[in-house]
Amino acid sequence: MKVALYSRGIEPEHEVHFKALLQELYLHKATIVVYSGLLTPQLQAALHRYDHDVFSSSDQLDDSIDCLISLGGDGTMLDSAILIRDKGIPLLGINFGRLGFLATMGKEEIKRVVEALTSRGYLIDQRTLVHVDADVPLFADAPFALNEFVLHKRDFSSMIKVHTYLNGEFLNTYWADGVIVATPTGSTGYNLSCNGPIVFPESQSLVITPIAPHNLNVRSIIVPDNNVVSFEVEGRAEDFMCAMDARREIVKMGVQVAIRKEHFSISLLRLNENTFLETLRNKLTWGLDKRN
């Protein structure tokens, strides 16, 4: 078994869990590949105890890797998806962060996680991504996102008008701070914060949600993910912002932007008992009403 480890950084209080993960992988005779950003003085001693390779970019990952383990929160999982791209490497998240809709495994479950990887006692969920096309190059060589695409006004500028089309047919003009196009995975992210609906991962749909719309009758809409969602933006400012998950770029007014389903998906690993409904109950504290 060959396992890659990625993190934005290991906080001092999580070093003990990182060392426990290295130990468990070693005991199960796994080949370890570590992200170069983890080669800090604080972790060097722990890493030197075990044979390991190092990677620093997506180009150094290939299909010989059985799993990439993301150590952090959901933001770290989104970074990991950028590294994996279309390589088909399964992704598993151990939550060193807070809420963790994507990084669902707790740091106290490390031993069980490694045992499940070794025995292949897991399930694989295929998660849709969105892809952006525009008149100008956007997001370099990674114009895709696991959670959402966001079109937003800049800073404290006035609201923008977002003319929105489905497959070239006019849908609506949103007078708002912006618009979100979320995947089912991203429906529990920014979309949820803007009162958008939660969508099951296998629903094959996209969610279009306006951000702070200036219309009482404008709400989210769910569309099949074979639609192309395109935008034309008007506003008093000279530019607006586009975001793919945590990455942002400033775009000039007049640039046309289109969102479609990406041609590849991301494989998320989960243990057999960890269902989407269980994640919703645990993360949103559903069913914990004391009157029940």
- The catalytic residue among 74, 79, 177, 245 is 74
pLDDT (tens, 9 = 90+) of the chain, 292 residues, equals: 999 999 998 988 889 999 999 999 999 999 999 999 998 888 887 888 888 899 999 999 998 999 999 999 999 999 999 999 999 999 999 998 777 788 888 888 899 999 999 988 899 999 999 999 999 999 988 999 999 999 999 988 889 999 999 999 999 999 999 999 999 999 999 999 999 999 999 999 999 999 999 998 999 999 999 999 999 999 999 999 999 998 999 999 999 999 999 999 999 998 876 788 888 887 888 877 666 5
Query: Rounded to an integer, what distance in angstroms lies between the CA atom of residue 192 and that of residue 234?
Result: 26
Is residue 66 annotated as a catalytic residue, yes or no?
A: no
DSSP state of 23: H
CATH 2.40.50.140 fits 130-261, yes or no: no
Encoding tokens for residue 271?
Answer: 């243990």
Residues 6+ apart with CB under 8 A from 280: 188, 198, 286
What are the structure tokens assigned to 142, written together? 């990674």
Q: b or e along 197-209 (b: 16 or more beta carbons within 10 Å of the residue's beta carbon)?
A: eebebeeebbbbb
Helix (H, G, I), strand (E, B) or coil at 217: coil
Residue 172 CB-density burial (10 A; 0-12 exposed, 13-18 middle, 19+ buried) = middle
Q: Does domain 2-127+265-284 have CATH number 3.40.50.10330?
A: yes
22-29 long-range contacts, CB within 8 A, separation 24+: 22/46, 22/47, 22/49, 22/50, 24/110, 24/111, 24/114, 25/50, 25/114, 26/50, 28/1, 28/114, 28/115, 28/117, 28/118, 29/1
Nearest Cα neighbor of 241 from 174, 142, 160, 167 is 160
Count CB-CB contacts under 10 A for residue 139: 20
Give this prediction's pTM: 0.92
Listed by start position, the domains of the chain span: 2-127+265-284, 130-261
Exposed, middle or buried: residue 189 (CB in 10 Å: 0-12, 13-18, 19+)?
buried
